[in-house]
Amino acid sequence: MNQAHHHTEHWTEVIEPESGLLDFKLREVWRYRDLLMLLVRRDFVALYKQTILGPIWFFLQPLLTTVTFVFVFNQIAGISTGTVPAMVFYMAGTTLWNYFADCLNKTSTVFKDNAAVFGKVYFPRLIMPLSIVVSNLVKLGIQLFLFLMFWAYYLFTTDTIHPNMTLGLLPLLILLMGGLGLGFGMIISSLTTKYRDLIFLLTFAVQLLMYATPIIYPINAPGISPLVRKILMINPMSPVVETFRYAFLGSGGGTFSWGALLYTTVFTVVVMAFGAFIFNRVEKSFMDTV
């Protein structure tokens, strides 16, 4: 009698674990894509709503940085950019580095910055760092347009720039930069819920990493030994910058290696997976420590 009754029972609620550590809720993220786009719009509007020049800062920032690099590193320090004009050489590196650094810096404080929202409303937490990476694409697009104007000028007025077929790899390079910024950002954001000191170290670390990336110097500069060159290429951003310069400026501006690009791709996938793993683990309990 009891056994028959047991088989006819219908439970109204089943309590199960919410998700495993390897469940990144990607389908749920896709269902919340409208929220993702709203957050992207919010980031873009909020950042420049109270500025006088607004989005013009997108143009001014890389332009002023490039002019500073040309003056300090090329003119004063005497770092040669080879046959490539210094202006377009430095602007190429600055444009890429700005996107990566913005993704990393803003993603790394996502738990701290959004603690109030996370504590009140449910949505896939991965939406927040993803919105940062996507919103920075708008800024990247504007700065790429500025770079292309200078690039086109030098392309038609000099004989030192030789673009090639690797231009088709640009979407991959953007994905790799966004992925690296997102992955490292999620790792740091997860750690800063307990170790706040990392936030202060991050600014210094990003600046240091820029000098370990061929942004202000050609990796084939005469003063760089083959050993140092190999060490610099361990930095996953180095192949991205070198490939970008090689694609737009030719062999005088950068180098290209399928092996180096494959290394960065594998590195990016591993960092993103590890970052999502830690992020997924910390989001369950971070409200107790933030």
Number of neighbours of residue 55 by Cβ within 10 angstroms: 14
pLDDT of residue 43: 73
Tokens (6 digits) for 113:
């910055």
pLDDT of residue 25: 63
- Model confidence over 171-200: pLDDT tens digits? 999 999 999 999 999 888 888 877 776 777
Say which residues have a Cβ less than 8 Å from residue 264's Cβ, sequence separation at least 6.
Answer: 176, 180, 236, 237, 239, 240
How many distinct structural domains can be found in the chain?
1
Mean residue pLDDT of the chain comes to: 83
- Model confidence over 125-141: pLDDT tens digits? 778 888 889 888 988 99
pLDDT of residue 21: 45
Number of neighbours of residue 165 by Cβ within 10 angstroms: 7
- Give the mean pLDDT of 144-163: 94
Would you say residue 3 lies in a domain?
A: no
pLDDT of residue 233: 93
Q: What angle do CA 69, 75, 76 make, to 5 degrees?
A: 90
Task: Name the pLDDT band for 16 (thresholds 50, 70, 90).
Answer: very low
Would you say residue 156 lies in a domain?
A: yes
pLDDT of residue 33: 73
Would you say residue 263 lies in a domain?
A: yes
CB-based burial label for 126 (10 Å; 0-12, 13-18, 19+): buried
Task: Name the pLDDT band for 281 (thresholds 50, 70, 90).
Answer: confident
Q: What is the CA radius of gyration of the chain?
A: 23
Would you say residue 13 lies in a domain?
A: no
Would you say residue 28 lies in a domain?
A: yes
- Model confidence over 224-241: pLDDT tens digits? 889 999 999 999 999 999
Would you say residue 163 lies in a domain?
A: yes
**DSSP for 221-272, written as a single string:** -TTS-HHHHHHHTTSTHHHHHHHHHHHHH-TTT----HHHHHHHHHHHHHHH
Tokens (6 digits) for 278:
């830690």
Q: Measured between alpha carbons, how far is 156 from 62 in angstroms, rounded to an integer? A: 22
For 35-49, 147-161, 221-235, 247-261, which range has the lowest pLDDT when averaged over its residues?
A: 35-49
Tokens (6 digits) for 18:
């919410």
Would you say residue 72 lies in a domain?
A: yes
Would you say residue 8 lies in a domain?
A: no
- Give the mean pLDDT of 192-210: 82
- Model confidence over 74-116: pLDDT tens digits? 899 888 888 899 999 999 999 999 999 999 998 888 777 666 6
Task: Name the pLDDT band for 62 (thresholds 50, 70, 90).
Answer: confident
For 22-26, 159-163, 211-215, 272-276, which range has the lowest pLDDT when averaged over its residues?
A: 22-26
Number of neighbours of residue 251 by Cβ within 10 angstroms: 15
CB-based burial label for 30 (10 Å; 0-12, 13-18, 19+): exposed
pLDDT of residue 214: 93
- One-letter amino acid at 9 equals E
pLDDT of residue 53: 60
Task: Indicate whether 122 pLDDT > 90.
Answer: no
Domain that holds residue 183: 21-288
